[in-house]
Amino acid sequence: MVKAWWLAATLMCSLAACSSPTQRVDPDQDDALGGTGIDSGDIRATADKIARSILAMDRLYTRGTPYVVVQDPKNETRFQINDSMIVDRIMTLLIQNSGGRVQFVDRENWEVIQRERALKRSGAVSVPTDAQGQPNLAAAPLGSDYFLLSTLKSLSKTNGDAESDYIVATFRLTDAETGAILWQDDNEWKKVGERGVLYR
């Protein structure tokens, strides 16, 4: 009888509590929430594959250090995402691992850069100097050799209870002068899921 009481009490507590403490989880692993949307693991795997592919492409470096402007991806899926997360991650991996072989041009902060240039040239703020003690002022902001462009596309199916989503994240480096496509690669994944009977 004591066992029965404890069993009932444990069941009651587990139902009444209905929560678990916050825990850290591996961002490469799928979480228990389910759904066929884009997860952290998809973003990390995509960024890793694309960064490696860019680093392994010798043609990119034949004319010296390439200067790249990154554009936010076009999201053509049915999922709301902050799509700049993927390209931010790719940039981080390349900056961390390329040893300066690839340079990125910051266009997100164009107005801040323009304002700072104007302040330096007006004398409102000091001008940094180079190793010879000369004013270190670039003649113009950097132009780019390549654009890193990307698109997320999906093929989605449902019968009301179950869903499937095939997603392709495509990346390309386009010559900023000629429009020629120097390189293209992608990462793809497919997820299927079904709602539990409680939600059907």
Select the span of 10-18, 57-65, 99-107, 182-190 touching other proteins (CB under 8 A): 10-18
Q: Any contact of residue 198 with other proteins (CB under 8 A)?
A: yes
Q: Any contact of residue 18 with other proteins (CB under 8 A)?
A: yes
User: Which residue, 100 or 160, is less far from other proteins as judged by CB?
Assistant: 160
Identify the three-state secondary structure at position 47: helix
Q: What is the token pair recorded at 41?
A: 């693991």
* 19: Cα separation from own chain's centroid: 31
List Cα–Cα distances, 30 to 20, 72, 78, 152, in angstroms: 18, 25, 19, 20
Q: Any contact of residue 178 with other proteins (CB under 8 A)?
A: no
User: Which residue, 80 or 132, is less far from other proteins as judged by CB?
Assistant: 80
Identify the three-state secondary structure at position 16: helix
Q: How far is the CB of 199 from other proteins (least distance, A)?
A: 5
User: Which residue, 48 or 72, is less far from other proteins as judged by CB?
Assistant: 72
User: How does DSSP assign 27-46, residue by residue?
Assistant: TTS--TT--SS--HHHHHHH
Q: How far is the CB of 47 from other proteins (least distance, A)?
A: 19
Of positions 21, 76, 115, 140, contacts other proteins by CB under 8 A: 76
Angle made by CA atoms 10, 12, 18, in degrees to the nearest 5: 100
Identify the three-state secondary structure at position 185: strand
Residues that bind other proteins (CB under 8 A): 1-2, 4-5, 8-9, 11-12, 14-16, 18-19, 32-35, 37, 74-81, 83, 156, 158-161, 193-200
